[in-house]
Amino acid sequence: MSMWTLRCDGGSRGNPGPAAYGFVLCDPAGREVVARGEYIGTATNNVAEYKSLIAGLKAACEHQAAPLAVVMDSELVIRQMTGQYRVKNEGLKPLYQEAKQTALGLSRVTYSSVGRADNGRADGLVNEALDQAMQK
């Protein structure tokens, strides 16, 4: 069975500062099904990373995109989602719970970490959303 791919990224300019997320959902053939970037106001980088994951997982559920390979450049989020790290930050706990709950809507989800250079499309969506918000 072929895997769908969800590439997620979040970022803030300042930490905390103006923040946005981006994600790209690709079908097993590698075609983009959904690509979205959204400004989320003032937040930390880690909050933006989790918001990208949650939004991407929701899109994956809408498209019944399973099995799903989640790819992010946030080692913290990946390691928390795989259980390697505990979620200690009180502000991240509800986002972690929401991500875990949302992932339950898919039959199988795997998580892996990549370098920022390997997550360019999602990163580009983050920066587009931030640039548009900053121009207003």
Average pLDDT over residues 76-91: 97
Domains held by the chain: number: 1
Phi/psi for 126 (5° steps) reads -60, -50
Report the percent of the chain where pLDDT is more than 90. Answer: 96
Triad 22, 100, 70: Cα angle to 5°? 45
Neighbour count for residue 120 (Cβ, 10 Å): 13
pLDDT in tens, 93-112: 999 999 999 999 999 999 99
pLDDT exceeds cutoff 70 at 134: yes
Decide if 9 contacts 122 (C-beta within 8 A): yes
| Strand extents, DSSP E, the chain | 4-12, 17-26, 32-43, 68-72, 109-113
Range of lowest pLDDT (50-59, 94-103, 114-123): 114-123
Quickly tell me which residue has 């979205």 as its tokens: 36
pLDDT at 116: 86
pLDDT exceeds cutoff 90 at 136: no
pLDDT exceeds cutoff 90 at 129: yes
Q: Quote the tokens at residue 84.
A: 């390697």
Q: How many CA atoms lie within 13 A of 101 on its CB side?
A: 6
pLDDT at 1: 63
Find the domain containing 106 and state its range.
Answer: 4-135
Average pLDDT over residues 20-44: 98
- Confirm whether pTM is higher than 0.75: yes
Average pLDDT, the chain: 96
pLDDT exceeds cutoff 90 at 43: yes
Neighbour count for residue 25 (Cβ, 10 Å): 24
3-state secondary structure of 77: helix
pLDDT level of residue 14 (50, 70, 90 thresholds):
very high
Angle between helices 120-135 and 45-62 (to 10 degrees): 110
Residue 122: which CATH number? 3.30.420.10
